[in-house]
């Protein structure tokens, strides 16, 4: 971060939040739980944290990419219009086919699941594919546009930070992966960490993050690193004082909270407020950071 540009910071940390979405998170959490079961009594401590670790890869890759490109060669412009449904079909194929192929190959060689179980998995993949097409088409076709218009309309409102806080409270509850994480946490901890507690902490974290993002857009002298670096440093210090299960849950929640609902809506809203694409970047990084702090405090 010391040698990368501010644009590089925004792209790298935004990418880390955006890559842990509705497809990635449930799959990675389930994969982590499956592997953790092999560790016997210590499975609870190793059940969480994989999503948090997965988030670090895009940060490093994004920063390295920004160094290789350089600020002088960066150009931001709107892409040519394509059909939302066509984009949904294409992106859904890229999301489902690799996972399906890996499963089919490994199943043929090692798992050899029963015919009924294999049929259920195929049906699940089909439902996921259709659901993704509908979701991605809807997001691109209207959801992001709605958020952008809201941002433009509220740009000069003195209640903008409060509106941003309320939007953050509400939008994270619509995030599919948030429900998955909350249920997994409640199951693995035997109900000692209630689902409602996780949801409340995530809502407060995301709401605070969106409000901070709006304040940063309005006050031009606040750089992204001034918020991100202290936030993650405090998180790391707190992680030394809490059980490792909580540390894993906290870092997972950062990736989970910045999923497709939050990332698309909040990013478009902030770009509407900013009036341009470039200043809207960085908001997902706030959304990925704040839940880590709130879950650790919880």
- Could you say which residues of the chain have pLDDT below 70? 21-22, 40-47, 70-82, 276-280
Q: Which residue's structure tokens are 């209640």?
A: 159
CB neighbourhood size of 26 (10 A): 19
What value does the mean pLDDT of the chain take? 81
DSSP 259: S
The confidence score (pLDDT) of residue 127 equals: 92
CA 54 from centroid of its chain's CA atoms: 11
Distances (CA, A) of 43 to 170, 189, 190: 33, 11, 13
Q: State the pLDDT at residue 45.
A: 59
Looking up tokens 């990675």 gives 28
pLDDT digits (tens, 9 = 90+) for 179-227: 777 887 888 778 878 888 888 888 898 899 889 888 888 887 788 888 8
Q: Provide the b/e sequence for 71-103 (b: ≥16 CB within 10 Å).
A: eeeeeeeeeeeeebeebbeebbeebbeeebeeb
Predicted confidence at residue 237, as pLDDT, reads: 93
User: How far is residue 122's CA from residue 104's CA, in Å, rounded to a whole number?
Assistant: 10
170 phi and psi angles, rounded to 5 deg: -85, -45
Residue spans of the domains in the chain: they are: 6-70+82-297
């Amino acid at each position: 971060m010391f040698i990368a540009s501010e644009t590089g910071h925004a792209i790298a940390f935004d990418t880390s939040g955006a890559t842990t979405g509705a497809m990635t998170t449930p799959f990675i959490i389930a994969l982590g739980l499956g592997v953790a079961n092999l560790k016997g009594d210590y499975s609870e401590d190793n059940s969480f944290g994989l999503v948090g670790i997965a988030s670090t890869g895009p940060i490093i890759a994004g920063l390295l990419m920004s160094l290789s490109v350089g600020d002088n060669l960066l150009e931001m412009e709107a892409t040519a219009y394509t059909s939302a449904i066509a984009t949904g079909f294409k992106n859904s194929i890229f999301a489902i086919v690799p996972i399906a192929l890996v499963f089919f190959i490994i199943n043929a060689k090692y798992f050899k699941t029963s015919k009924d179980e294999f049929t259920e998995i195929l049906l699940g993949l089909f439902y996921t594919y259709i659901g993704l097409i509908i979701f991605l088409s809807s997001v691109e076709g209207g959801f992001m546009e709605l958020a952008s218009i809201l941002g433009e309309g509220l740009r000069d409102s003195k209640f903008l930070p409060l509106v941003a806080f309320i939007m953050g409270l509400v939008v994270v509850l619509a995030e599919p992966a948030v429900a998955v994480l909350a249920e997994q946490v409640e199951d693995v901890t035997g109900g000692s960490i209630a689902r409602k507690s996780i949801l409340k902490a995530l809502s407060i974290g995301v709401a605070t993050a969106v409000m901070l993002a709006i304040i940063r857009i309005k006050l031009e002298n606040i750089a992204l690193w001034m918020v991100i670096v202290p936030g993650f440093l405090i998180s790391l210090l707190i992680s030394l004082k809490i059980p490792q299960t909580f540390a894993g849950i906290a870092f997972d929640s950062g990736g989970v909270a910045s999923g497709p609902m939050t990332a698309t809506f909040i990013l478009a809203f902030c770009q509407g407020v900013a009036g341009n694409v470039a200043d809207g970047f960085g908001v997902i990084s706030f959304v990925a950071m704040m839940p880590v702090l709130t879950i650790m405090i919880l």
